[in-house]
A and B are shown apart, each in its own frame.
Chain A
Amino acid sequence: MEVNEKTSMLEEVQNEFHSSSDFKYKKYSIGEVTLHLCYLDTMIDSEVIQTHILERLVSKDHSGRIITTILDSDDAYTLDECIQAILSGNVIVFNDNNKNKAKSYSAPSNNSDRSITESSTETVSLGPHDSFVESLKINSTLIRKRLRTKELIIKNITVGKKYPISLSIIYLNDITPQSMIKTIEQKIKKLELSGQVEPKKMIEAVHIQNSIEEYPTSIFPQVMYTERPDRTIRHLITGKPAIIIDNDPNALLFPYDIYGYFRSTEDFNFRWLFGVFFYSLRIFAFWIAVLIPSIYIAVTTYHSNILPVSIFYTLKLSIENVPLPPLIEALTMIIILELLKEAPLRLPNPIGSTIGTVGAIVIGTAIVQTNLISNSMVVVIAVTAIASFSLPSREMSIAARIMGIPLLILASIFGFIGISLGVFMIFAHLSKIKAFSFRYVENPGFSEFVLFKNRKGKSS
């Protein structure tokens, strides 16, 4: 926007904001100097203005400038710059002498920040309890506080033309390849130009995830969302970058491998044996969640010959009176399970707990007693659910359950053959996924648990 010849920039700024009630314009004259302050009072800490701008002004010399202040200051020459500065929580100060040149002081209000609390999605029993909050600045602090090295780079960029958002790419300069950072930056920038998101939508974490992933259509998540600073640090020191978006309490850890989704940060705080045990247990749980329903279907439909007579009778007794075919039974149970999981999330806490009762007693028991679903099927689906919920990452747990469905259908048509060929296809898909030079499935990383490293004599 060009500044009109006749009007000054100050008037233009006032014009742009005149219909917003929270836009404030203040004029102060002290001696010969007159200062014009423009800001949005919803974004500004007025105390900061008082102490850092106005009080400085009183004790100034007569040049009409604020001499020393700790606030970030910047010159703004164009109307665009002024507007952006005001919108991101700065105070614009015009001098009476020159109304076309302004100085902006950042004085953002901290009132809207949530205080650091324990993460509700990634709780651990052993280890630090702090988690990210919505403010980018506090999140950067949490990381900076832990990694006291000058190699830690926090790179702020702004994307979006219509609705700009700010985000930081955080990495360690000495071990992260520059080309990787550049590529990620380009991909994020491309989001701004592509027109897929804006102007109808705003750029959000999911769009960034979509643009940086190599296989966004894959069922497997390749970007890890985490609320935990210690997980982020662990990621950073392997030479991979993290992206933190303002107003989002999740850090996006990018080239992430599948084994990371099975690793809780807690594992590293335990004694190594416990860590290895729980880590292996979770990998096992993933395959249980994927395979158990389809194996059950295959066994009951085709391969009951692999069961010894005693087990066979137990199974047969439970499925004998059920009129539905096993596949329908399984799909019904899966849907009921997802509903049971979804419903309490939408309800306030006291009512939410009743869902558990309804789910467990009413549906669980009654559905078996009415012979709609067999006992064993309820057990199988419950085990699947427990296994999938034990994964530290919510996305991976959903992926595991969803991946079970095509296998379920394959199993109901082809039995074990369908399952094993399906697993073969999943393996092929998994081995295909990569990001930069990092493969999605490379090594299980048992050596990351402390003891193994010491034994091999590798010190880092």
Chain B
Amino acid sequence: MINNKHLFYLIIFTQFGVAITSFPNNMYKVAGHDGWISTLVGGMIVQILILLYYSLYKKFPDKSFTDYTKIITNPFIGTCINICYYAYFLYVVLVVSMRFSDIITIWIFPKSPSWLILILFLLTAYIVAKNDILTIARTYVLCTFIFLIFILFLLSAYDNVHIGRILPIGQYPIKKIGSGAYSSFLEMLGFEIFLFIAPNFQDTKKKLFTLTFANFFTTIFYTFIIITSYIRLSNKENSYIIDPILYIFKTYHSKMIESLDTIFLSLWTIVICATVVSYIYIVSEDVHKRLSLIVKNRKSILLFIIIVVFAFYPLVSFHLIRRETIVNFGSYLDPLFIIIIPCLLFLINKVRGLIN
């Protein structure tokens, strides 16, 4: 049973992930130096979705999302939707792990075999995810120090900033800022796990407040990152450098320590792993609930998931499937699973309520 504090940490650790290093660059491509406005707007989109999710949750408290797909539609369609969701989550895990092994190869271990690191990464995720949800949440609470270190590192970039680089504010057209908001919203995914872990909630009040606060934290943090990147690096640098955050950290010099990027990435590995843990926990737990008669042990499902994810690695590394294909696939899947299906379910439920 998890309380509000645990819910908060579960959500922020799932929201922050591997995308953070390249986030300012992605935003710069879309919305120029007004990307930070887009981030704030993106946070508002997330907030609207959270309200929607919350009203869904209020309709069916103590039930998981996979339960009420069946109730709202019918068991068959519901099962289909659920299977799609499982596949989608596995896809997210796959993308995150691929991106993780890429970043590690580029920034830390250019010559090491990345499959070995991926094995350790997935194994850790397995070991953590085989615990119950409360243990996972408590583990995240213990890992909060990473965010403090991250903020500290970001502050170190402020010795050479030029605020004029984000001026004038609002130079880009609203359309661009809007599409930037959409892409920043895609980076903030992870709050949807709220619907799936709902059966584990303690009966506490102020859930919506917790969710809002988590979203607020994430939005502010992303904005902070993006502003730091924009005022630290010149506009040209911002448009070319793929991982600006790591680049900023790499340029740090002092008498004690240099290239903070290595330290940051190593610590951030925990947060990336936490994202994977959240998703594979949800999938394994839910599948286990449905198939408890066939599969006695949740660990075997977890192991299966890990192996499936890892099985994609050779396919990608031997270019049988192009990496871009996999990643681009996400631009169709994300809106479908995060926005459209929950919205449809919500509408169907509303209409049904009106008819009855």
Which A residues lie at the B interface, using CB under 8 A? 302-303, 305-308, 310-311, 410, 413-421, 423-425, 427-428, 430-432, 439, 441
A305 in contact with B273 (CB, 8 Å):
no
Question: Does B136 interact with chain A (Cβ within 8 Å)?
Answer: yes
B143's partner among A414, A415, A427 (CB-CB below 8 A) is A427
B120 touches A418 (CB 8 A): yes
**Alpha-carbon gap, A431 to B274, bound state (A):** 14
With contacts A423-B270, A424-B139 taken as known, whether A417 is within 8 angstroms of B117 at the C-beta atoms is yes
- A431 near B142: Cβ-Cβ < 8 Å: yes
The segment from B222-230, B259-267, B329-337 found at the interface with A is B259-267
A431 touches B139 (CB 8 A): yes
Quick one: which of A303, A421, A430 contacts B120, CB cutoff 8 A? Answer: A421
A428 contacts B131, C-beta separation under 8 Å: yes
Report the minimum CB–CB distance from A287 to chain B (whole Å): 11
> Which residues of B lie under 8 Å from residue A430 when comparing CB positions?
139, 142
Q: Is B4 engaged at the interface, CB distance under 8 Å to the other chain?
A: no
Inter-chain contact A415/B257, CB cutoff 8 Å: no
Question: When the two chains form their complex, are residues B124 and A421 in contact, meaning their CB atoms are under 8 A apart?
Answer: yes
Contact A421 B270 (CB under 8 A): yes
A369 to B255, CA, bound (A): 29
Q: Is there an interface contact between B255 and A308, defined as CB atoms closer than 8 Å?
A: yes
On whether the beta carbons of B138 and A441 are closer than 8 Å, the reply is: yes
B145-180 vs A, CB cutoff 8 Å, 1 = contact: the mask equals 000000000000000000000000000000000000
Complex Cα distance A422/B270, Å? Answer: 9
* Also in contact, A416 and B127, with CB within 8 A (given A427-B143, A441-B138): no
B269 & A428 in contact (Cβ 8 Å cutoff): no
* Cβ–Cβ contact A308 & B131, under 8 A: no
Chain B contacts for A311, CB-based, 8 A = 256
Which residues in B have their C-beta under 8 angstroms from that of A425? 124, 127-128
**Among candidates A310, A415, A441, residue contacting B109 with C-beta atoms closer than 8 Å:** A415
**Complex contact A421–B273 (CB within 8 A):** yes
| Contact flags B314-333 to A (C-beta < 8 A → 1, else 0) | 00000000000000000000
| CB of A315 to closest CB in B, whole Å | 13
Closest Cβ–Cβ distance, residue A425 to chain B (whole Å): 5
Q: When chains A and B are docked, how far (Å) is the Cα of A417 from the Cα of B258?
A: 17
**Are the C-beta atoms of A416 and B138 separated by less than 8 Å?**
no
Asked whether B254 is an interface residue with its Cβ less than 8 Å from the other chain, the reply is yes
B12-43 vs A, Cβ < 8 Å mask (1 yes, 0 no): 00000000000000000000000000000000
Judging by beta carbons under 8 Å apart, are A420 and B259 in contact?
no
Complex Cα distance, B189 from A41, in Å, reads: 80
Tell me, in angstroms, the Cα distance from A296 to B127 when the chains sit together: 26
| Contact of B138 with A417 in the complex, beta carbons under 8 Å | no
The count of A-to-B residue pairs whose CB atoms sit within 8 angstroms is 92
Q: Does B135 contact A (CB under 8 A)?
A: yes
Q: A306-B262, A308-B256 are in contact. Are A431 and B135 (CB under 8 A)?
A: yes
Do A421 and B138 touch across chains, with their CB atoms under 8 A apart? Answer: no
Closest to B255 in A: A308
Contact of A414 among B117, B256, B265 (CB under 8 A): B117
The majority secondary structure among interface residues of chain B is helix
How near does chain B come to A422, taking the closest CB pair, in angstroms? 8
Closest to B136 in A: A428
Question: In the bound complex, how far is the Cα of B115 from the Cα of A414, in angstroms?
Answer: 12
Kindly list 15 other residue pairs between chains A and B, CB separation below 8 angstroms, not including A416-B265, A430-B142, A431-B141.
A306-B259, A306-B262, A308-B254, A414-B120, A415-B108, A416-B262, A417-B109, A418-B120, A424-B143, A427-B139, A428-B127, A428-B131, A431-B131, A432-B131, A441-B138
B253 close to chain A: CB less than 8 A: yes
In the assembled complex, the Cα of A307 lies from the Cα of B255 at a distance in Å of: 9
Binary A-proximity of B224-258 (CB < 8 A = 1, otherwise 0): 00000000000000000000000000000111111
- Cα distance A234–B124 in the bound complex, in angstroms: 38
Does B201 touch A at the CB level, under 8 Å? no
Contacts of A428 in B (CB 8 A): 127-128, 131, 135-136, 139
Using Cβ atoms and an 8 Å threshold, which residues of chain A touch B270?
420-421, 423-424
- A215 smallest CB distance to B (angstroms): 12
Given contacts A303-B262, A310-B255, contact A421 B269 (CB under 8 A): yes
C-alpha gap A350/B250 in the complex (Å): 55
Q: Is B343 part of the binding interface, using a Cβ–Cβ cutoff of 8 Å?
A: no
Supply 27 A–B pairs (Cβ within 8 Å), ascending by A.
A302-B108, A307-B258, A308-B256, A310-B255, A311-B256, A413-B116, A416-B263, A417-B104, A417-B109, A417-B121, A417-B266, A419-B266, A420-B269, A420-B270, A421-B120, A421-B124, A424-B124, A424-B270, A425-B124, A425-B127, A425-B128, A428-B127, A428-B136, A428-B139, A431-B136, A431-B138, A431-B141
Pairs A-B, 10 closest by C-beta atoms: A416-B266, A431-B138, A428-B128, A421-B124, A427-B142, A428-B139, A432-B135, A431-B139, A424-B270, A427-B139
Bound-complex Cα distance A416 to B131 (A):
24
Q: Which of B138, B258, B274 contacts A308 (CB 8 A)?
A: B258
Instruction: List the A side residues contacting B131 at CB < 8 Å.
Output: 428, 431-432
- Give the chain A neighbours of B266 by CB distance below 8 A: 415-417, 419-420
Question: What's the least CB distance linking A443 to chain B, in Å?
Answer: 10
A433 nearest in chain B by CB position: B135
In chain B, what residue has the closest Cβ to A309? B258
Q: Which residues of A contact B143 (CB under 8 A)?
A: 424, 427
Q: Which residues 103-120 of B have a CB within 8 angstroms of A?
A: 104, 108-109, 116-117, 120
A326 to chain B, nearest CB (A): 16
Min distance, Cβ B145 to any Cβ of chain A, angstroms: 10
Q: Which residues of B contact A441 (CB under 8 A)?
A: 138, 142
Bound-complex Cα distance A158 to B317 (A): 66
Point out which of A413, A418, A430, A431 has the most chain B C-beta atoms below 10 A from its C-beta.
Answer: A431
- B128: chain A residues within 8 A (beta carbon): 424-425, 428
**Known contacts A428-B135, A431-B135; A305 and B120 CB within 8 A of each other:** no
Instruction: Find out whether the CB atom of A417 lies under 8 angstroms from the CB atom of B108.
Output: yes
In the bound complex, CA of A307 to CA of B252 (Å): 11
The residue in chain B whose Cβ has the minimal distance to the Cβ of A431 is B138
In the assembled complex, the CB of A8 is this many whole angstroms from the nearest CB of chain B, namely 62
Output the least CB separation between B227 and chain A (Å). Answer: 26
Residues of B with C-beta under 8 A to A302: 108-109
Q: How far is A428 from B139 in the complex, measured between Cα atoms in Å?
A: 5
Give chain A nearest CB distance to B105 CB in angstroms: 11
Q: Which residue of B lies closest to A307 (CB)?
A: B258
Structural contact, A417 and B135, CB atoms closer than 8 A = no
A427–B271 Cα gap in the complex (Å)?
13
Chain A residue numbers with a CB within 8 Å of B120 are 410, 414, 417-418, 421
B residues near A420, Cβ cutoff 8 Å: 266-267, 269-270
A349→B262 CA distance, assembly (Å) = 49
